[in-house]
Structure 1
Amino acid sequence: MAIQALTYTEVIGRCHGLPYPDEQQYAQITSQFWRFRLKETWNEDPSGNFVTVGWILPCTAINMPWTNKFKVDHQSKTIDIPYAEGEDYESHAILEQLIAARSQGLLSMSKKLEDELYRVLGINRTVRVPRGGSALFGIQTFGIQMTGYVYDEKSGQMKIWVPKRSATRMQWPGMMDNTVGGGANFDEEHFDCMVREAEEEASLPREYMRENAKVVGKISYFHVRDAKTPDGLGFVDRSLQFIYDVELPSHIVPKPLDGEVEEFYLWSIDQTVDGLKQGKFKSNAAATLIDFLFRHGYVSARNEPEVEHVISSLIKRLPCA
């Protein structure tokens, strides 16, 4: 039985998770969230100067075994870290909270929580959150997606380097992906993140990437993953991804290096489109590749009647304080 092809709108919808057809429904959805707040600039006053840096699902707010470093206000639907006894107090409080959740079987992580740290955006100092906990607190992260392509020497046709994710990955195992992608560490800008990830994931030379990879735009997504059980935790995955393109010469061939990729394939545009419409790609990689196909003229009003809606849906609103 043939699998019904997805539309581009449906593919992008998988990345966002929730539809936002109008402002009223958007407001209804976000009004259910709890606000995770930190002090914008540190001072000793325990009551003021708080800003919202994350959005927490009600199930998480209720089921999380909160430590005494957090102030949970059920009436105002706010969760704060009101005190700080040193520069890294809030970072340690977040880490301690995630360890507590994991010890009770509420959070599953294969790596050490300290392995990859993201920076909490929206405040005037460095507070770090482990990668595996950013969506639990609904903290916006940023990272990169890079598409590597070549032109066939005989036909002149464009082809895209498409990796297959390792079957041992916790998320999206065995799915197809964009050439290179990853989140920026707490002390890293997006360009440096792109160069590092290109080498770590695909063995691409740093110097070549620095000289030839170009940032061409950005996409954002806002994906809500509710709890699977009544006593479970939910996630609000908010991210801004800087998009890079790089044309690779025939002698530079991506190769797996860090074990996150099983193999790289050189796919034609038709193969890539078929893979997208069959749902073979990781969701944010699929959105990135649709953006790539649009910018290079492979998705247009000639072959996509909803092209304006498709492109506008690549940038989603993010809730703010």
Structure 2
Amino acid sequence: MPWTSHFQVHHSTPRTVSVLDSSNGKDTVGAVNAAFSELINICIEQNLFHILDGKHSEPFAIPGRIYYGVHQPPRGRDEALDRPSRGSFYTSPGMLDGTVAGGIKAGSSPLETIIHEEDEEASLPEKLGLIIPDIIYVHDLELPSDVVPKPNDDEVETFYSMTVEEVQKGLLNGEFKPDSAAVLIDFFIRHGVITADNGKDFIELSMRLHRRLPFRTP
């Protein structure tokens, strides 16, 4: 790691790295963010770590040890799913995704994020943003029959209209991104597509989709 002068490394046991407050307490949060931003940009420019890639283009808050995102499976027609552009994403390029999904940027709320992603990824009008959260950070969208999602930037390659059976087949074939697969399975459970009668792993699926995390979160 190419530590800058904003960090202090102690090699004694246990080894520690401290970020210095260049603002002397006047703007600690800003100073820390600036220090990490400079360090990450150096890593990207020097191509030091594969996980720090230039395709990660947006800043995200780090409230705990987990990533926060939003997903929106559509309702009102056969499942409308997208395939992200292979060249614009670092993780899971070219794999099937939900109609609208994205990470929650620093300073944005889940609702603001999903409305922004609706326009950016699927050209959906803002008035459709009147969405009903079913569980935290997962929203169902009642998609009118005359509204057809279409790519609005280079992040989405194309959209597919798929039946429930086609989506299930795609899930079993491993065609979906892991997070999108979990959201769709949850969607099927909530809407009675997967039940205790027809799903031999119904209880385990439900427990794994809604579990206590072994570390503190906000």
* Shorter-chain TM band: 0.7 to 0.9
Q: CA deviation at 1:208?
A: 1.6
Q: Does 1:250 align with 2:166?
A: no
1:184 is aligned, of 100, 104, 121, to 104
3-state SS, counterpart of residue 189 of structure 2: helix
CA distance in 2, matches of 1:78, 1:177: 39
What code does the residue aligned with 1:146 have?
A: Q
Q: CA deviation at 1:278?
A: 0.2
RCO higher in structure (CA 8 A, sep ≥6) = 1
Farther-moved stretch of structure 1 (277-286 vs 162-171): 162-171
What code does the residue aligned with 1:167 have?
A: R
| Corresponding residue pairs, total | 208
Q: CA deviation at 1:318?
A: 4.7
User: Where does residue 319 of structure 1 map in the other structure?
Assistant: 215
Q: Does 1:193 align with 2:101?
A: no
CA distance in 2, matches of 1:160, 1:284: 17
User: Where does residue 50 of structure 1 map in the other structure?
Assistant: none
The one-character-per-residue Cα deviations of 1:259-311 (angstroms, maximum 9, x if unpaired) are 11111111111000000010000110011000000000111111212211111
Q: Does 1:116 align with 2:42?
A: no
What code does the residue aligned with 2:80 have?
A: W
8 Å CA contact retained: 2:83, 2:157: yes
1:100 is aligned, of 11, 22, 42, to 42
Q: CA deviation at 1:101?
A: 1.8
Q: Does 1:144 align with 2:70?
A: yes
8 Å CA contact retained: 2:70, 2:101: yes
Q: Does 1:294 align with 2:189?
A: yes
Farther-moved stretch of structure 1 (102-111 vs 296-305): 102-111
CA 1:93–1:307 in structure 2 vs 1: closer, same or farther (change >3 Å)? same
Q: Does 1:66 align with 2:31?
A: no
More strand by share: 1
Q: Does 1:278 align with 2:196?
A: no
8 Å CA contact retained: 2:84, 2:94: yes
Task: Give the alignment's TM-score, normalised by structure 2.
Answer: 0.86
Task: Give the alignment's TM-score, normalised by structure 1.
Answer: 0.60
Q: CA deviation at 1:89?
A: 0.8
Structure 2: gaps spanning 5 or more residues = none
CA distance in 1, matches of 2:61, 2:164: 36
3-state SS, counterpart of residue 300 of structure 1: coil
The one-character-per-residue Cα deviations of 1:194-252 (angstroms, maximum 9, x if unpaired) are 1110110001111122x2x211114xxxxxxxxxxxxxxxxxxxxxxx11101111111
3-state SS, counterpart of residue 181 of structure 1: strand
